[in-house]
Amino acid sequence: MTDSTTPPQGTTPQAAAPKATRTTRDLAKAATSGWLGTAMEFMDFQLYSLAAAIVFNKIFFPDVSPAIGLIAAMATYGVGYVARLAGAVYFGRMGDRLGRKKVLFITIALMGASTTLIGALPTYQTIGIAAPILLVALRLLQGFGAGAEIAGATVMLAEYAPTRRRGLIASLVSLGTNSGTLAASGLWAVLIGVLSEEQLLSWGWRLPFLLSFVLLVFAVWLRRNLKESPVFEERADVVDGVALSHREVVAAAEQQPETASLKASVRQRKGRAFFLALGLRFGQAGNSGLVQTFLVGYLATTLAMERSVPTSAIVYGSLLGFVTVPVVGLLGDRFGRRPVYLALTAATALAAFPLMLMITSGSSAATIVGMVLALNLGVLGLFSLESVTMAELFGARTRFTQLALAKEIGGILATAIGPVLAATLTAVTGHWWPIAAMLVAYSLITLVAALLSPETKGRDLVRLEDAV
């Protein structure tokens, strides 16, 4: 049961209603929807990133040198991250005002349609400069939808899940990232293995994008039949399915000062929970950029190791992640978020230099083991915790918006700057130790954020105010 309010001017008061309930079948649909949406997001982005590196420079930018063509192709990849931030702001606010379900339907449709249409684009040879322009436009739409997809899926799963299993259920979002990345990498590996270069450039590159339409149809159907988040329906500021604006909440709290939830939401100063969430995000995103992106190139180029070694390590690490992620979710449910955060970040910081010694030892087996451990300890384990902790830190009124912004801003800052800084430092020093030092620094940022954060396990997500 939630507090009732007397909304100002023209709104219909929300009648006291029984607590929203969801069946096991409803939870299963929400869990499948969250996993599938995140898998599609990461599959779409991985499909695009691999295509940008392998074929787009040749079919969309053929009239320039190969180096400039690759730069142009990768630039089209980069604009998606700018669009993600815009999508986080736009859809985050919509999700907090109109409901989670509506936004998740729109974002999955935008992502899926954009990805499918990329596979149907005419090339530069057919329509000239219009081809790369259309490519960039679709990339912007894809990123715009993706900017709120993982945040929305996280919010929906956390708000659907039983309190005692919230960490486990929310960790399905993290499993979706593994599923999508592996699926995209597998599709491209098959194409490269069975098609000639001529076949790949003429029609083969289109297949992964066009095949994503099958997933799109299923995902859209699933989300059309998904019930709204029970937390959104129970919120004290929701009237006739729409949340009151800030002005209306203030007026309602003044008219009914005994409404504790509204009053606490109005009086609380915003900001602290957001910066704590940003700190929690920074470690995972920074470590991810170093382990999953920078190390692959560093080992293959600077250390002249076979490229198959680090790429195989990422695949093996991702497969192990299907165990790591739910186990960490269960540990968070059992012992609390803070103790597990502190253990993982401290372990990553302490193991950073020994792991880098293994990774750079020159032994293929040691490299693979070291990267697998680093990926699961400092990236996937933290991602599992992040999915639920950030949702619990924020109040129901602005949870979607704040979570989306924290994820996107933290991801852009740490993932974008980290590999560039690591490349600069390793080039200047001629050594691998700056990579280990950065792993320590990123992990300590998250450790400090976890120390400053309250324990959020079991928090009532219907509360409108942030946890701090």
State which H helix or E strand residue 242 sits in.
Answer: strand 242-243
Residue 370 within any structural domain of the chain: yes
Higher pLDDT, 70 or 174: 174
Residue in this structure with the two tokens 């299923």, named with its chain if needed: 218
**Secondary-structure percent of the chain, ordered helix, strand, coil, rounded to 5:** 80, 0, 20
Q: Is residue 13 part of a domain?
A: no
Mean pLDDT to the nearest integer, 308-324: 87
Residue 10 scores a pLDDT above 60:
no
Q: Is position 243 within any domain?
A: no
pLDDT of residue 75: 60
Q: Are residues 190 and 282 in the same domain?
A: no
Residue scoring higher pLDDT (466 or 268): 466
> Is there a single domain that holds both residue 133 and residue 211?
yes
Instruction: Tell me the per-residue pLDDT of 356-371, one tens digit each, with 9 for 90 and over.
Output: 999 999 899 999 999 9
| pLDDT, average across residues 305-331 | 89
CA distance 393 to 274: 8
Phi, psi of 362 (to 5 degrees): 95, -10
pLDDT at 345 over 60: yes
> Can you tell me which residue has the tokens 């599938």?
36
pLDDT band at residue 2 using 50, 70 and 90 as cut-offs? very low
The last residue of one of the domains, among 232, 254, 277, is 232
Angular region, 306: left φ>0, alpha ψ -120 to 50, beta rest: beta
Are 227 and 279 in a shared domain? no
DSSP element (H, E) containing 239: strand 238-239
pLDDT averaged over the chain? 84
Q: For position 1, what pLDDT does the model report?
A: 36
Instruction: Grade residue 9 by pLDDT with cuts at 50, 70 and 90.
Output: very low
Q: Do 186 and 317 fall into the same domain?
A: no
Rounded distance between C-alpha atoms, residue 385 and residue 457, angstroms: 11
Q: How many CB atoms lie within 10 A of CB 126?
A: 10
Q: Which tops the pLDDT comparison, 76 or 129?
A: 129
CATH number, residue 225: 1.20.1250.20
Among 119, 116, 94, 121, which residue's Cα sits nearest to residue 106? 94
The answer on 394 and 279 residing in a single domain is yes
- Examine residue 315 and state whether it is found in any structural domain, yes or no: yes
pLDDT in tens, 111-127: 889 989 999 999 888 88
Residues 256-276 pLDDT 10s: 655 666 666 666 677 899 999
Q: Is the pLDDT of residue 8 over 60?
A: no
The pLDDT assigned to 77 comes to: 58
Is 201 contained in some domain?
Answer: yes
**For residue 312, what are its two tokens?**
């195989």
Looking at the fold, whether 152 and 299 belong to one and the same domain comes out as no
Q: Please check whether residues 214 and 279 belong to one and the same domain.
A: no
pLDDT above 90: percentage of residues in the chain = 34
Query: Does some domain include residue 250?
Result: no
- Per-residue pLDDT of 277-294, as tens digits, reads 999 999 999 998 888 878
Q: With bands split at pLDDT 50, 70 and 90, how would you rate the model's confidence at 413?
A: confident
- Residues 275 and 194 reside in one and the same domain: no
Does 217 share its domain with 275?
Answer: no
Sign of the dihedral defined by the CA atoms of residues 167, 168, 170, 175, in that order: positive
| 192-236 tens-digit pLDDT | 788 888 888 888 889 989 988 888 888 888 888 888 888 888 887
Residue 176 has pLDDT above 90, yes or no: no
In a domain, 382, yes or no: yes
- What is the residue range of 83's domain? 24-166+174-232
- H/E stretch holding 353 reads helix 337-359
- Determine, yes or no, domain membership for 413: yes
pLDDT tens-digit readout, 18-55:
466 777 888 888 888 888 888 888 888 778 777 776 77
Query: Both 339 and 194 in a single domain?
Result: no
Q: What is the pLDDT of residue 20?
A: 66
Return d(Cα 152, Cα 141) in angstroms, integer: 17
Say if residues 236 and 11 touch (Cβ distance below 8 Å): no
Domain co-membership, 324 together with 397: yes
User: Domains in the chain: how many in total?
Assistant: 2
pLDDT tens-digit readout, 47-96: 877 777 677 777 887 765 565 655 555 565 566 777 889 999 999 999 99
Same-domain check for residues 118 and 193 = yes
Average pLDDT (300-322) is 84
